Amino acid sequence: MGDPLHDRQSVNVLANARQVIEIAGNIEGFPRVAESVENDLATLPAGARPGNWRAQPITGRVRFGHAPDGSGDPALEGEVLAQVPAVCQRCLEPFRYALDVPVAVQFGREANKALDAAVSPGYEYWELPDDRVRPVDIVDELIVMAMPLSARHANDEDCRAPEEAGAASDRTRPFADLRRQMENADKE
Ligand SMILES: [Zn+2]
């Protein structure tokens, strides 16, 4: 028995078998995701980096079959969920966001097929150099492509953004009042 996520197999064999792959892994098992997260977290001071980020879960279910356009092209469908550690680009604090990656890929050998719009609606075209695929490579790349260029806290209450210092200005008000009093005192 093989490991359908990691074995390199004929995409047509997988499609004809309607191979289902359950994914219950973590970032460690997805090298491109790990590299991307590592580069992002490298912007933090060493002591501020979350220690166990490679253990964050990546789960989901994908299924091989055939594209709905009747072309007979093999396809992969499903959904993958990832917990992605990142640095918030507003407050520069580490945080973690949930990434929901819909999977809808149509495979083929022709380089220009995507340009001809000859792909099922809603599907991404995936050019294969040969008949074989390693499913983990596809999922790895789809997650990286779904990661936002500029991650940030979704919830303002969690974000210690500089702009929010404005909301705290009431707390500094007594000092402003004191300064005004001192200025007035100078004039007298
Ligand atoms: Zn933030």
User: Measured in angstroms, how far is the CA atom of residue 165 from the centroid of ligand 1?
Assistant: 13
Residue 142 lies in a domain: yes
Domains in the chain, number? 1
pLDDT digits (tens, 9 = 90+) for 25-55: 999 999 999 999 999 999 999 899 998 999 9
User: Measured in angstroms, how far is the CA atom of residue 86 from the centroid of ligand 1?
Assistant: 10
Q: How many CB atoms lie within 10 A of CB 80?
A: 22
User: Measured in angstroms, how far is the CA atom of residue 153 from the centroid of ligand 1?
Assistant: 5
User: Measured in angstroms, how far is the CA atom of residue 149 from the centroid of ligand 1?
Assistant: 15
Structural domain of 37: 9-160
Residue 62 lies in a domain: yes
Residue 145 lies in a domain: yes
Tell me: pLDDT of 99 over 80: yes
User: Measured in angstroms, how far is the CA atom of residue 16 from the centroid of ligand 1?
Assistant: 46
User: Measured in angstroms, how far is the CA atom of residue 32 from the centroid of ligand 1?
Assistant: 24
User: Measured in angstroms, how far is the CA atom of residue 176 from the centroid of ligand 1?
Assistant: 28
User: Measured in angstroms, how far is the CA atom of residue 96 from the centroid of ligand 1?
Assistant: 10
Q: How many CB atoms lie within 10 A of CB 143?
A: 23
d(CA 85, CA 151): 10
User: What would the two tokens of residue 34 be?
Assistant: 């790990």
User: Measured in angstroms, how far is the CA atom of residue 186 from the centroid of ligand 1?
Assistant: 42
User: Measured in angstroms, how far is the CA atom of residue 54 from the centroid of ligand 1?
Assistant: 21
Which residues touch 41 (CB under 8 Å, ≥6 apart)?
Answer: 49, 50, 53, 85, 86, 87, 94
User: Measured in angstroms, how far is the CA atom of residue 157 from the centroid of ligand 1?
Assistant: 9
User: Measured in angstroms, how far is the CA atom of residue 148 from the centroid of ligand 1?
Assistant: 14
Residue 1 lies in a domain: no
Residue 143 lies in a domain: yes
Residue 160 banded pLDDT, cuts 50, 70, 90: confident
pTM over 0.85: no
Higher pLDDT residue, 155 or 115? 155
Residue 129 lies in a domain: yes
